[in-house]
Amino acid sequence: MNYVTGVVMQFTTQGADEVVLKARGKFISRCVDVAEVSAKRFLENTVEVNDIVINSEEFKNDEGRDIRVSTIEIGIKKK
């Protein structure tokens, strides 16, 4: 819920026009929850999901193996 508060405050007390949420791996589903709750419950009719991009990051772990992790960026914009 703290993430939702953060998004709502960006739009209300900070006057932001757009907020971009980013997450990797298993936190992607929580990122979608935060976007949905912010845009549909707390800021209904004020903001909307603008753009969603998914991607992958690749790196080597401590054992030198190639690891791939998914990422998401969700842009929320003032209507």
According to DSSP, the residues that pair with 75 across neighbouring strands are 20, 51
28 binds its own copies (CB under 8 A): yes
Residues numbered 36 to 55 that lie near its own copies (CB under 8 A) are: 36-37, 40-41, 49, 52-55
Q: Yes or no: say if 54 and 71 are a contact pair by the CB < 8 Å rule.
A: yes
| Binding residue (CB under 8 A) for its own copies from 12, 33, 44, 67 | 33
Q: Between 15 and 59, name the residue whose CB sits nearer to its own copies.
A: 59
Could you give the CA distance from residue 69 to residue 7 in angstroms, rounded to a whole number?
25
User: How many angstroms separate the CA atoms of 39 and 75, rounded?
Assistant: 11
- Residue whose pair of structure tokens reads 């914009």 in the numeric block: 77
Instruction: Give the residues lining the site for its own copies (CB under 8 A).
Output: 25-29, 32-33, 35-37, 40-41, 49, 52-56, 68, 70, 72, 74
